[in-house]
């Protein structure tokens, strides 16, 4: 199968959702100059309000204007992560468009990489349950504007993570992903668009969350 570079058709948009924290992040873009995003701190009301906020946010565009959906797949809160992925899957199925799942940690790394010309390796850590840490290490390749996962998202004890960093053979920037993560919804959209440009077309059924841990010990 040949891979062709794809561009969004005229008046076509892509939508991104970020629900892995108590904040809701939404972004929409045609990648031709029109991009908008917004974040709301909904707390425990996220599950009951997300549909309402999405319906209002997408205007004046309509569902028919969307070429693909992107969603933060986790790590993050179990309930919030599940809500976002289920919503993205549902939209992808109903609209018959691809659904891209993007790592929460990758979005943080991508957002940070865009702030500096010198960054090459980014180590991202985020608190997990039971004293553990969600961690990943990414390599930013400026020539191709790509993000390579050198250490894919994983769950480690603080000691194991420190040992991993101590033995890492290149200089890195350590990023603590703790708050304001929904603001990286624009990074979710941009990373998904890079995959789209490569001709990837993931079916909605392939969109799965990354929890990393069971929500309950032994569950």
In a shared domain, residues 132 and 201: no
In a shared domain, residues 144 and 194: no
In a shared domain, residues 97 and 155: no
Mean pLDDT of 32-59: 96
Task: Compute the mean pLDDT over every residue in the chain, rounded to the nearest whole number.
Answer: 91
Q: What is the pLDDT of residues 132-166, one digit of tens each?
A: 999 999 999 877 788 999 999 999 999 999 999 99
φ, ψ dihedrals at 155, nearest 5°: -115, 125
Q: What is the pLDDT of residues 8-30, one digit of tens each?
A: 656 699 999 999 999 999 999 99
Question: According to the model, what pLDDT value does residue 3 have?
Answer: 42
Instruction: Residue 99: give the domain boundaries.
Output: 13-104+180-206
In a shared domain, residues 93 and 54: yes
Identify whether 65 is part of a domain: yes
Percent of the chain with pLDDT over 90: 83
Identify whether 126 is part of a domain: yes
In a shared domain, residues 128 and 148: yes
**pLDDT at residue 7 is higher than 70:** no
pLDDT range class, residue 218, cuts 50, 70, 90: very low
In a shared domain, residues 131 and 82: no
In a shared domain, residues 110 and 124: yes
Q: What is the rounded distance in angstroms from the CA atom of residue 181 to the CA atom of residue 178?
A: 7
Q: What is the CATH number of the domain that holds 128?
A: 3.30.420.40
In a shared domain, residues 162 and 195: no
In a shared domain, residues 65 and 131: no
Identify whether 110 is part of a domain: yes
In a shared domain, residues 184 and 171: no
**Where do we find the tokens 């790592």?**
103
Q: What is the pLDDT of residues 100-122, one digit of tens each?
A: 999 999 999 999 987 876 778 99
Mean pLDDT of 30-42: 95
Question: Which residues lie closer than 8 Å to 69 by C-beta, 6 or more apart?
Answer: 14, 15, 16, 17, 88, 91, 92, 95, 97, 98, 99, 100
Q: Per the structure, how many domains does the chain have? A: 2
Question: According to the model, what pLDDT value does residue 49 have?
Answer: 96
Q: Write the DSSP symbol of residue 80.
A: H
Q: What is the rounded distance in angstroms from the CA atom of residue 77 to the CA atom of residue 135?
A: 15
In a shared domain, residues 100 and 17: yes
CB atoms within 10 A of CB 144: 9
Render 107-134 in DSSP notation, one character per residue.
HHHHHHHTT-SS--EEEEEEE-GGG-EE
Question: According to the model, what pLDDT value does residue 141 have?
Answer: 85
Mean pLDDT of 209-215: 85
Q: Which sign does the torsion angle of CA 191, 61, 208, 25 carry?
A: positive
């Amino acid at each position: 199968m040949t891979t062709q570079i794809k561009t969004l058709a005229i008046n076509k948009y892509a939508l991104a959702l970020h629900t892995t924290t108590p904040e809701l992040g939404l972004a929409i873009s045609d990648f031709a100059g029109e991009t908008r995003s917004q974040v709301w701190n909904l707390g425990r009301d996220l599950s009951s309000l997300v549909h309402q906020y999405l319906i209002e946010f997408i205007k004046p565009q309509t569902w028919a204007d969307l070429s693909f959906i992107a969603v933060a797949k986790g790590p993050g809160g179990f309930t919030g992560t599940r809500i976002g992925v289920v919503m993205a899957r549902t939209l992808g199925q109903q609209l018959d468009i691809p659904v891209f799942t993007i790592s929460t940690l990758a979005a943080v790394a991508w957002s940070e990489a865009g702030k500096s010309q010198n960054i090459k390796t980014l180590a991202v850590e985020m608190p997990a349950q039971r004293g553990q840490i969600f961690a990943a290490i990414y390599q930013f390749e400026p020539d191709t504007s790509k993000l390579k996962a050198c250490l894919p998202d994983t769950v480690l004890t603080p000691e194991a993570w420190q040992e991993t960093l101590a033995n890492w053979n290149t200089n890195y920037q350590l990023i603590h992903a703790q708050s304001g993560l929904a603001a990286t919804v624009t990074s979710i959209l941009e990373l998904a668009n890079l995959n789209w440009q490569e001709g990837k077309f993931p079916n909605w059924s392939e969109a799965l969350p990354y929890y990393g841990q069971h929500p309950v010990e032994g569950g």
